[in-house]
Amino acid sequence: MPHILLVEDDDRLSKLMTKGLQEAEFEVTAAYDGITGLKLALQKDFDLIITDIVLPKKNGLEFCNEIKILKPNLPVVMLTALGTTDDKLEGFDAGADDYLTKPFEMRELVARIKVLLKRFSQQRQQKVFVLKYEGIEMNLEQKTVSRDQVPIKLTPKEFNLLKFMLENSERVLSRGEIAEKVWETHFDTGTNFIDVYINYLRKKIDKDFEIKLIHTKAGMGFILKKDYETGIIH
């Protein structure tokens, strides 16, 4: 039975979520502030964490960021009443693997939890620990990235996006495919959400190097490829 840590300061909501998760056959441990949540997360082996952003003592963004540094392979679902694009970007940059805006349906939360548990289980079984392409080197165990031996610091979500592009180098990736595979969701691809993160990566991966590797194929998506000639937008 997967063990979930729920960090939610609203007592009524916490009890409702605990009941719903238990009915879905999850074991649940509840915490009501960020500091207690962090202590529990480090003391016990959880399979997944659900956290609100607005928490007493330590907010959910700080909590998530610290967890991802100490336990990078522990999936985190962020719940919040804040639903703007900037709020979601901030949550993903803190290391959240998925994001749900209140109010939400319990069925959707359970579905997303199952997807994350399956994805992280598959990742733990991977035998490939280093991805390489044209000078880019990504160590999946140490969570490090470099290009031409120059270290590059990425946020957790930037790391996952680059990982997906490295795994699919020299292939055009649509916004929808990136949303599904990197964010495990089907949000409105008409927004500039994916483009924002592609630009983040370009600034870190390509800006200080003569050869550009991340390109845009107009009307189709993005590609990681050396010397891509057509449809390039840097």
Q: What is the domain partition of the chain in residue ranges?
A: 3-124, 130-224
What pLDDT tens digit does each residue of the chain (234 aa) get? 899 999 999 999 999 999 999 999 999 999 999 999 999 998 888 999 999 988 999 998 999 989 888 888 889 998 887 766 676 777 788 888 888 888 888 999 999 999 999 888 876 665 568 899 999 999 988 889 999 999 999 998 899 999 999 999 999 999 888 988 887 666 554 557 889 999 999 999 999 898 999 999 888 899 999 875 544 444
pTM, rounded to two decimals:
0.60
Q: Is 70 left (phi over 0), alpha (psi -120 to 50) or beta?
A: alpha
Other beta carbons less than 10 A from residue 84's beta carbon: 9
User: For the domain 130-224, what is the CATH code?
Assistant: 1.10.10.10
- Would you state the pLDDT for residue 234? 40
- Distance CA(50)–CA(162), nearest Å, equals 25
- Would you state the pLDDT for residue 188? 53
- Would you state the pLDDT for residue 84? 63
CATH number (3.40.630.30, 3.80.30.20, 3.40.50.2300, 3.40.630.150) of 3-124 reads 3.40.50.2300
Per-residue tokens: 199: 């630009």
